[in-house]
Amino acid sequence: NAGVMQNPRHLVRRRGQEARLRCSPMKGHSHVYWYRQLPEEGLKFMVYLQKENIIDESGMPKERFSAEFPKEGPSILRIQQVVRGDSAAYFCASSWGYNEQFFGPGTRLTVL
């Protein structure tokens, strides 16, 4: 059973471009979470999704950031018009119902 997959592992964007981060949860998992870790800081919750629904987006910045988890395919975290402050590691986690969260290896976004 493959673990949580994230791609790309590293992403470089110039200011103003769009970044799309993908997360494939573990097989059978219907809950997906996104977290952000700024350099030398702890992880911050961003958004919690179940299939086709956003359950909790209290940690998402109000502008430029969006997330989806369609019925088919991976969850996508989309950052429009990236700025240097968006440079961070973005981690996705998945769970099945009321169980522990399994984290992916992360996508490291660098904004030039």
Partner 1 sequence: DAKTTQPNSMESNEEEPVHLPCNHSTISGTDYIHWYRQLPSQGPEYVIHGLTSNVNNRMASLAIAEDRKSSTLILHRATLRDAAVYYCIQTMNRDDKIIFGKGTRLHILP
Name the residues that contact partner 1, by CB under 8 A: 4, 31, 33, 35, 42-45, 48, 56, 58-59, 91, 93, 95, 97-106
Q: How far is the CB of 55 from partner 1 (least distance, A)?
A: 9
**What value does the CA radius of gyration of the chain take, rounded to a whole number of Å?**
13
Nearer residue to partner 1 within complex by CB, 59 or 74: 59
Question: 30, 50 in Cβ contact below 8 A?
Answer: yes
Measured at the CA of 31, the angle between CA 28 and CA 35, to 5 degrees, comes to 130
- Nearer of residues 52 and 56 to partner 1, judged by Cβ: 56
Smallest distance from the beta carbon of 5 to partner 1, in angstroms? 11
Amino acid at 109: L
Return the number of the residue (3 or 68) whose C-beta is nearest partner 1: 3
Beta bridge partners of 6: 23
CB atoms within 10 A of CB 96: 15
Identity of the residue, 15 or 27, whose beta carbon is nearer to partner 1 in the bound complex: 27
